[in-house]
Amino acid sequence: MGAGLGRARRRGAAGRGGAGGRPGQPPDAADLALAGAVLAALRPVADRAMAHFFALMFLRHPELRAVFPAAMDGPREQLLRVLRECVRHGDDPAALRDRLGPLARRCRKYGVLSGHYASAADCLVEALARYGSGWDERAEAAWRRLLAPVARLLVEAAEEDARATPPWWQAEVVAHRQAAEGVAVLTLRPDQPYPFRAGQYAEVETPWWPRVWRPYSFGSAPRADGLLTLHVKAVPAGWVSNALVHRARAGDVLRLGAAEGGMTVDHASGQDLLCLGGGTGIGPIGALVEEVAEHGAAGRRVEVFYGARREAGLYRLAELRELAARHRWLTVRPVLSEQGPAGCPPAGELPEAVARQAPWHGFAAYLSGPAPMVRAGAAVLRRCGLPPGAIRHDLAEQQV
């Protein structure tokens, strides 16, 4: 038994006067410590434990196997992240609801029904019992007290979502443009009204990789004609991105999940905006700029840093410069990480270019692009004195 698990179990025994606890009660601090210790001790075999969970679920609900992807590494990793979040926020129903809501919405796309959640809790306990070292009655009681409200919140979120939206939308590709090397801009027409905000993203499924969903950000603000755009970069050996960039054509039909993500602008605040867009990350940043132009800047400044390796990668620069010429509140600064020909903007990484223009006190920051750029950018902004709450990006959304 690991030292952490032993310590957590002793705390549980001291707090509850022995094994057993109170079934039907919400988890307390001792339960969460014990559940967390079980997860920590599970680390070396976590993937096998999650695989066992899905094997049990598919055995009991064979209809679910057909709607999950052939390669299950993504769902296994996602489940583990969800469990960690549940342990971290298990004593805070509001925080738990915030994190589980998007998951319940995503699961609707897979055809998961309310009744599956209680069964999932049983399968999870069985998987943990099989792979968790030092698993005993107290560990099981702690996990059951944790999973009962989790299952209830998932059911509530899924039912609330079902009252308002379909599990997915069909969206026809009406235009497909190669914007730069390996980058395509797709224009889509959803089959029914599709609610979203600039800065959000949706999971997308292509006809060539059934049941494989990947998140893509919207590259434009909501438009009167209902069309929306995605900016996609083909990654080496990537399934969905290569299909969208090299295979999709006008007339093809994709599926879209509901819009997700909190990287949206508060138009009431009037706070100045600092936007970092690297590569196709300029998609949601451009969408945010369009939305501000639509609502009116109301005295706020918007500073956009647009990064690419080479000049040819700055495929949205002309469009943004045209907007900046029309709107005095907007400044656009291109940043190339590899030196271009004479007369081109200076070489450098996007976060360093932003740091050179500090101070940024009072700005709300929005970051989108490759994960290392977003992490480095967020770190630089914290060093520049921006509070964590003023820095928004979509990496955090995928923690659950």
Ligand X SMILES: Cc1cc2nc3c(=O)[nH]c(=O)nc-3n(C[C@H](O)[C@H](O)[C@H](O)COP(=O)(O)OP(=O)(O)OC[C@H]3O[C@@H](n4cnc5c(N)ncnc54)[C@H](O)[C@@H]3O)c2cc1C
- Residues at the site binding ligand X, with contacts judged by CB under 6 A: 73, 201, 214-217, 231-233, 235-242, 280, 283, 394, 397-398
**Which residue's Cβ lies closest to ligand X?**
238
- Least distance in angstroms from the C-beta of 107 to ligand X: 17
- Least distance in angstroms from the C-beta of 215 to ligand X: 4
- Of the two residues 35 and 240, which places its CB atom closer to ligand X in the complex? 240
- Of the two residues 47 and 136, which places its CB atom closer to ligand X in the complex? 47
SS3 of the chain: the string is CCHHHHHHHHHHHHHHCCCCCCCCCCCCHHHHHHHHHHHHHHHHHHHHHHHHHHHHHHHHCHHHHCCCCCCCHHHHHHHHHHHHHHHHHCCCHHHHHHHHHHHHHHHHHCCCCHHHHHHHHHHHHHHHHHHCCCCCHHHHHHHHHHHHHHHHHHHHHHHHHHHHCCCCEEEEEEEEEEEECCEEEEEEEECCCCCCCCCCEEEEECCCCCCCEEEEEECCCCCCCCCEEEEEECCCCCHHHHHHHHHCCCCCEEEECCCECCCCCCCCCCCCEEEEEEHHHHHHHHHHHHHHHHHCCCCCCEEEEEEECCHHHCCCHHHHHHHHHHCCCEEEEEEECCCCCCCCCCECCHHHHHHHCCCCCCCEEEEECCHHHHHHHHHHHHHCCCCHHHEEECCHHHHC
- Least distance in angstroms from the C-beta of 247 to ligand X: 12
- Least distance in angstroms from the C-beta of 85 to ligand X: 16
- Least distance in angstroms from the C-beta of 143 to ligand X: 28
Paired tokens of 378: 């967020």
- Of the two residues 283 and 307, which places its CB atom closer to ligand X in the complex? 283
- Of the two residues 170 and 398, which places its CB atom closer to ligand X in the complex? 398
- Least distance in angstroms from the C-beta of 313 to ligand X: 13
- Of the two residues 331 and 398, which places its CB atom closer to ligand X in the complex? 398
Paired tokens of 361: 């006190």
CA distance 346 to 25: 61
- Of the two residues 77 and 159, which places its CB atom closer to ligand X in the complex? 77
- Of the two residues 107 and 263, which places its CB atom closer to ligand X in the complex? 263
- Of the two residues 155 and 275, which places its CB atom closer to ligand X in the complex? 275
- Least distance in angstroms from the C-beta of 160 to ligand X: 22
- Least distance in angstroms from the C-beta of 178 to ligand X: 14
